[in-house]
Amino acid sequence: MNGNERVTELQPGIFQVRGLAGSSHSYVIKGAYLNVLIDSGADHNFPVLERGLSEIGLRVRDIELVINTHEHCDHIGANRYFQEHALIAAYRLAASKMILGDYYVTMYKGNDLNEIPLRVHLWLENMTRLDLGNYSLRIFHTPGHTSGCISIYEATRGLLFSADTIFAGGTLSYIAESGSVGDYIDSLRRLRCFGLEALYPGHGRISMTPAEDIDRAIENAKILLEGRSEDREKIFFYKQQERSSSDAAVEGS
Ligand SMILES: [Zn+2]
């Protein structure tokens, strides 16, 4: 952790810039071949991200590829600061929602209002591989929270950038209009097959026990699927955040 306290080097050349006030976290990978940003975060969070980048020796223009994990505005809102010079990549079901400017599904309505049309240059498919030289990223389509969610697996170190698909402790996102609990369980079961050493989610803390987190998440998703009326605070990440507002101030939401 350096002076900013919002920037952490998680692995050599892999940094987390923690989002403020509801923004997703952003992850920066200084690749040997290109610099990658996973999720630009909310528009209002851009000054935090820009400061974080400068602390790790990068200007905004040094980011060459932005991967959006899904179409929600707390993950894509600052794309407009990158899309003139960097390639923007998203899974095709997220990309179509982004470029159509559907502010209901991207949740811009009532949140950050971004009037600048979003661009998506690379429409990703399941199993797309990105070779950064020092790291190798594999895109996995993991629908559940929304239909267009991806998780990004770094195979050489067993890292999972899980966005809103799974959080530390196995809590879940809510199911958005295009999402599905059944898809969520399938996605979690597929993620469980990987050799994982660390979980880097879109909100909240990171976890070094990803297998346990996924097992718990599958149990939580089954409770939802079966309509069991168990304590929702155990299932949903945002319920835990509501309960602990002081954590929310530190972690984002
Ligand atoms: Zn989301």
- Note the pLDDT tens digit of each residue in 185-234: 999 999 999 999 999 999 999 999 999 999 999 999 999 888 877 677 77
| 3 burial type by CB count under 10 A (0-12 exposed, 13-18 middle, 19+ buried) | exposed
Q: Quick check: 58 and 28 in contact, CB under 8 A?
A: yes
C-alpha to C-alpha distance for 71 and 102, rounded to whole angstroms:
10
How confident is the model over 160-184, as a mean pLDDT? 94
73 C-alpha vs ligand 1 centroid, how far in Å? 8
12 C-alpha vs ligand 1 centroid, how far in Å? 28
How confident is the model over 89-110, as a mean pLDDT? 86
Sorted by where each starts, the structural domains of the chain and their CATH numbers stand as 7-251 (3.60.15.10)
C-alpha to C-alpha distance for 69 and 166, rounded to whole angstroms:
12
C-alpha to C-alpha distance for 165 and 174, rounded to whole angstroms:
10
How high is the pLDDT of residue 237?
A: 83
Residue whose token pair is 């919002």: 6
53 C-alpha vs ligand 1 centroid, how far in Å? 23
Residue 118 has pLDDT above 60, yes or no: yes
How high is the pLDDT of residue 149?
A: 98
Q: What DSSP state is assigned to residue 23?
A: P
Residue 251 has pLDDT above 70, yes or no: no
Q: Quick check: 165 and 142 in contact, CB under 8 A?
A: yes
Residue 102 has pLDDT above 80, yes or no: no
145 C-alpha vs ligand 1 centroid, how far in Å? 7
Residues with a beta carbon under 5 angstroms from ion ligand 1 = 72, 164
Q: What is the pLDDT of residues 119-149, one digit of tens each?
A: 999 999 999 999 999 999 999 999 999 999 9
pTM: 0.91
70 C-alpha vs ligand 1 centroid, how far in Å? 7
